[in-house]
Amino acid sequence: MSWPHCRTIIFEASLMNFKHALFDAFLKFSPFHQVRNPVIFTVYVCAFLITGIYCQSILNAEKLSVTFSFFVMIFLWLTVYFANFAESAAESRGKAQANALRKSRLNILAKKLTKASRTSKYESVTSSELRSGDLVLAEAGDIIPVDGVVVEGIASVNESAITGESAPVIRENTEERRSVTGGTQVISDWLIVKITTNPGESFLDHMISLVEGAKRQKTPNEIALSILLAALTLIFLLVCSTLVIFSIYSVSSVGSGSVISITTLSALFVCLAPTTIGSLLSAIGIAGMDRMIQMHVVAVSGHAVEAAGDVDVLILDKTGTITLGNRQATDFIPLNGVSMEELADAAQLASLTDETPEGRSIVVLAKQKYGLRGRDINGLQASFIPFTAQTRVSGINFQNRQIRKGAYDAIEVLIKELGGTYPDELSLQISAIARQGETPLVVSDGSRVLGIIRLKDIIKGGIRERFAKLRQMGIKTIMVTGDNPLTAAAIAAEAGVDDFLANAKPEDKLYLIKKLQEEGHLVAMTGDGTNDAPALAQADVAVAMNTGTQAAKEAGNMVDLESNPTKLVEIVEIGKQLLMTRGALTTFSIANDIAKYFAILPAAFIYTYPQFKMLDIMHLSTPESAILSAVIFNAFIIILLVPLALKGVKYRSLPPSNLLRINVTIYGLGGLVIPFIGIKVIDMLLSVLGIAQVN
């Protein structure tokens, strides 16, 4: 299944699940569900209380009380419903993606083998019958039935249904490429796969559970904020309870006015309690996980997403993350007495059958820079010398010439065997190239050295700008590489990273992470090999590549389905966006309570203490209208903020102090001003509709 088709399924499923969210919000009215959210549970109880008062008013034929109680009751229930809907809407997005993923989880026929040989007989079984340890044959056109590892063969595999990446990838029995995922399709050749999971335990099953929210747990910050909201709710509950006693005492001592009603008191409590952020808190967390899935990153827990927002150190591998990973020829350096054209011609001849990225780049460089067209290999009547790990040279025997290219010391041995001498100037040039973080290849023709091919590990485009943004955010970047310190320093300077670790071994990575954590830093890193597993397990945010080993994926707390090491930067941004969204909406929720004080408190005590009228700065129509306006605004602001909770606050690459100042200004000031406007507008509408005089 192609990714565009998968996106179409997600869109269609999103519309369907959004409609289901309207219905699911009613199912969440169960007290067993409501009790999980203390803030909304108190609103739930108040709604029941006002419903009872309303029914009693009907039985007693109290017409004036019936009208007021009816409207308060309706909007309290709407407050609970909107809170339920916010959570259901967030969950519906995950369900849409889960439905799309289920399209990839097919119960297909698999070719089960008795031994790891393509020639052995196989038995056709369904994927649900396979168990960990079974061997299956996957040939061109076959779908890999269950997660596993390649034990034999090499093939091109289409993983677009899982990763969204349209280009096929190579899978073979090497540490970096042996992992395969159920639901992907073999495009060419064949593989023998050893199954590593039992039914219901595959990566796809786990991913579906995560996006549906079945395994989502509250993060530490979310739990802490929930405790704070519960404490605030308890405080407001105690305050409102004492107002009844205060009201009774005031009436008895003054001898005028009326005792504050339970309906008014409930409305006051609901408006003062942090219902806005209490309603949206769960939706914000679910949406954060959902944004990770949209980036094709599966977070094992919400804690990992949240921790990404607090990360202040990023550890990145050089190869494939900072650099393209394939060295490219960038220049030809001839020795004295050798023309540039002669060196380029010899280098191209020696690389005609070299299918490595380095070899192909040499042919292209000679063609583009010096106009040397590629030769007809069959027409040359030449013999080619392939590269081997033992000789470390490759080349061509052509027209009584022995043209070779290879490592400095390997060519030196070859030259001496042929009776030639190594020029002194060559050593100086090779040392200079190495100090610049580049790789020299020496070219010879017989016993004569022609010059050097300069190979460079190309820095990825835009990576320097990305590191600059991270620096603005207060995040330090550290490059880890197996290169020598000279090469590492040169690449680090060009890429713009803050620090580097050269000659790095697995234990060095682990030691570096532990040291940084002891200094109080939160560390993120990426990895794909078994040797990365210890460091991934230690890191606060550990992103394993989907193409990596099983050990790496089990050690990490996130899996990047696209296996793009630079995705770590986006992951940090999503984590910060989650924290910013939660902080912004919390600020807005607390700030908008101020307007409700000025609306409800004067209305509640106006008959007992007329001097409270001075607090009615909005000049609301009647006390009853003031209370209703505040309750209505309190309900509808939840539904208006749902899109922001799901989409998240716009992320900006700014220092944390600047972000805090901007968000406090926007959402603090907005939370202060918007309720005054909203409550006043609602009050005017109630007056126009004739609902203002309800008591």
- Residues labelled as active-site residues: 317
At which residue do the structure tokens 């009201």 appear? 247
Tell me if 389 is assigned to a ligand binding site: yes
- Identify the burial level of 670 via C-beta atoms within 10 angstroms of its C-beta, where 0-12 means exposed, 13-18 middle and 19 or more buried: middle
DSSP 430-499: HHHHHHTT-EEEEEEETTEEEEEEEEEEEEPTTHHHHHHHHHHTT-EEEEE-SS-HHHHHHHHHHHT-SE
Tell me if 387 is assigned to a ligand binding site: yes
How far is it, in rounded angstroms, from Cα 530 to Cα 632? 57
Tell me if 596 is assigned to a ligand binding site: no
- Angstrom distances, CA of residue 194 to CA of 153, 191, 276: 12, 10, 51
DSSP E strand boundaries for 460-615: 476-480, 499-501, 523-527, 541-545, 558-560
Which residues in 469-482 are b (16+ Cβ under 10 Å) and which e?
ebbebebbbbbbbe
Tell me if 532 is assigned to a ligand binding site: yes
Continuous segment of H or E residues that includes residue 606: none
Tell me if 589 is assigned to a ligand binding site: no
Contact between 226 and 36 (Cβ < 8 Å)? no
Tell me if 242 is assigned to a ligand binding site: no
How far is it, in rounded angstroms, from Cα 657 to Cα 152? 54
Contact between 330 and 351 (Cβ < 8 Å)? no
How far is it, in rounded angstroms, from Cα 344 to Cα 669? 67
Q: What are phi and psi of 396, to 5 degrees?
A: -150, 140
- Identify the burial level of 100 via C-beta atoms within 10 angstroms of its C-beta, where 0-12 means exposed, 13-18 middle and 19 or more buried: buried
Question: Which among 559, 693, 560 is positioned nearest to 628, based on CA atoms?
Answer: 693
Tell me if 393 is assigned to a ligand binding site: yes
Tell me if 354 is assigned to a ligand binding site: yes
Strand partners, 313: 476, 523
- Angstrom distances, CA of residue 160 to CA of 165, 334, 338: 5, 46, 50
Residue 519: count other Cβ atoms within 10 Å of its Cβ. 9
Contact between 453 and 332 (Cβ < 8 Å)? yes
How far is it, in rounded angstroms, from Cα 427 to Cα 415? 14
How far is it, in rounded angstroms, from Cα 610 to Cα 614? 9
Strand partners, 314: 477, 524
Tell me if 34 is assigned to a ligand binding site: no
- Angstrom distances, CA of residue 399 to CA of 347, 348, 411, 446, 581: 15, 15, 20, 12, 71
- The structure tokens listed for 624 are 């009853």
Tell me if 528 is assigned to a ligand binding site: yes
Continuous segment of H or E residues that includes residue 77: helix 63-104
Question: Which among 383, 402, 408 is positioned nearest to 447, based on CA atoms?
Answer: 402
Tell me if 572 is assigned to a ligand binding site: no
How far is it, in rounded angstroms, from Cα 522 to Cα 507? 19
- The structure tokens listed for 58 are 């009907």
Contact between 456 and 637 (Cβ < 8 Å)? no
| Angle, in degrees to the nearest 10, between helices 623-647 and 275-294 | 20
Tell me if 391 is assigned to a ligand binding site: yes
- Count CA atoms within 13 Å of residue 42 on its CB side: 26
- H helices of 105-173, in order, are 160-163
Reported for 370-379, long-range contacts at CB under 8 A and 24+ positions apart, including other chains, are 370/340, 370/341, 370/344, 370/345, 372/341, 372/344, 372/345, 372/348, 374/348, 375/348, 375/349, 377/352, 377/353
Question: Which among 28, 30, 45 is positioned nearest to 81, based on CA atoms?
Answer: 28
Tell me if 211 is assigned to a ligand binding site: no
- Angstrom distances, CA of residue 44 to CA of 29, 81, 266, 411: 8, 10, 11, 82
CA terminus-to-terminus distance, the chain: 63
Residues annotated within a binding site: 354, 358, 387-394, 405, 528, 532
Residues annotated within a binding site for Mg(2+): 528, 532
Residues annotated within a binding site for ATP: 354, 358, 387-394, 405
